[in-house]
Chain A
Amino acid sequence: NAGVTQTPKFQVLKTGQSMTLQCAQDMNHEYMSWYRQDPGMGLRLIHYSVGAGITDQGEVPNGYNVSRSTTEDFPLRLLSAAPSQTSVYFCASSTTRGRETQYFGPGTRLLVL
């Protein structure tokens, strides 16, 4: 049981480049989310999903797209990277079966030059 996995661990992009951050979970959780954490700050919700085929915007969705074609995968796409998107990105999955819990992946550190 790998839990929540994220790739890559670290990425450097140039302004204007696009890329996809991968997130996968093997716990059959219904719910998945993407957050960003800027230095010294809390986590801000980018996009979230309540199930395959269903996504919605969080607090800071601009510049990001998501899709959820399967229960396991929830990739985050940066359309045209900007220096303001330099951050640590966390993917999380959660369930309400039994006790409600949310598990986080290890994070992807992104630097946009």
Chain B
Amino acid sequence: AQKITQTQPGMFVQEKEAVTLDCTYDTSDPSYGLFWYKQPSSGEMIFLIYQGSYDQQNATEGRYSLNFQKARKSANLVISASQLGDSAMYFCAMREGGYSSASKIIFGSGTRLSIRP
């Protein structure tokens, strides 16, 4: 069964608009972590944001926030005031299990975000 699902293969958004990238996950472990990464056309993987399963508040990092809905098993990435430089592939990922699984992080298939000027 797929553990991480990103249902939007591609999205187009107007510059300066907010955008939400969807991610749902599947786990029965009460301890897990959720990550978002950005991969621009240059190919490097850039860590954006992290949310732990026990964190009470939604994670925020500058223009990025993670809308964590535990009961629905969703961890959507919200980018406020999008910029042309936000055009990239975005991957959702999950660590299933406690910190001893910190190197066993699995990825979704990604969403390609394109920002229109």
**Chain A residues near B (Cβ < 8 Å):** 30-33, 35, 41-45, 48-50, 56, 58-59, 88, 90, 92, 94-96, 99-104, 106-107
Q: How far is the CA of A30 from the CA of B104 in the complex (A)?
A: 12
Distance from B60 Cβ to chain A, minimum over Cβ atoms (Å): 12
Given A101-B50, A102-B47, A107-B43, the answer on whether A94 and B107 have CB atoms closer than 8 Å is no
Q: How far is the CA of A3 from the CA of B91 in the complex (A)?
A: 21
The answer to whether A33 and B105 have CB atoms under 8 Å apart is: yes
The answer to whether B33 and A104 have CB atoms under 8 Å apart is: no
The answer to whether B103 and A41 have CB atoms under 8 Å apart is: no
The answer to whether B50 and A42 have CB atoms under 8 Å apart is: no
Distance from A87 Cβ to chain B, minimum over Cβ atoms (Å): 12
The answer to whether B103 and A32 have CB atoms under 8 Å apart is: yes
Whether a CB of chain A sits under 8 angstroms from the CB of B68 is: no
Interface size, chain B (Cβ < 8 Å) = 23
Further pairs besides A43-B91, A100-B50: 6, Cβ < 8 Å: A35-B107, A42-B91, A94-B105, A100-B52, A102-B102, A102-B105
Q: How far is the CA of A41 from the CA of B109 in the complex (A)?
A: 6
- A4: nearest residue on chain B (CB-CB)? B45
Q: Which of A43, A44, A48, A59 contacts B103 (CB 8 A)?
A: A48
The answer to whether A42 and B102 have CB atoms under 8 Å apart is: no
Distance from B63 Cβ to chain A, minimum over Cβ atoms (Å): 18
Q: Which of A35, A45, A50, A90 contacts B102 (CB 8 A)?
A: A50
The answer to whether B44 and A107 have CB atoms under 8 Å apart is: yes
Distance from B27 Cβ to chain A, minimum over Cβ atoms (Å): 15
- B104: nearest residue on chain A (CB-CB)? A48
Contacts of A107 in B (CB 8 A): 43-45
The answer to whether B103 and A50 have CB atoms under 8 Å apart is: yes
Q: How far is the CA of A20 from the CA of B106 in the complex (A)?
A: 23
Given A42-B108, A106-B44, A107-B44, the answer on whether A99 and B103 have CB atoms closer than 8 Å is no
The answer to whether A31 and B103 have CB atoms under 8 Å apart is: yes
Distance from B40 Cβ to chain A, minimum over Cβ atoms (Å): 12
Q: How far is the CA of A92 from the CA of B45 in the complex (A)?
A: 10
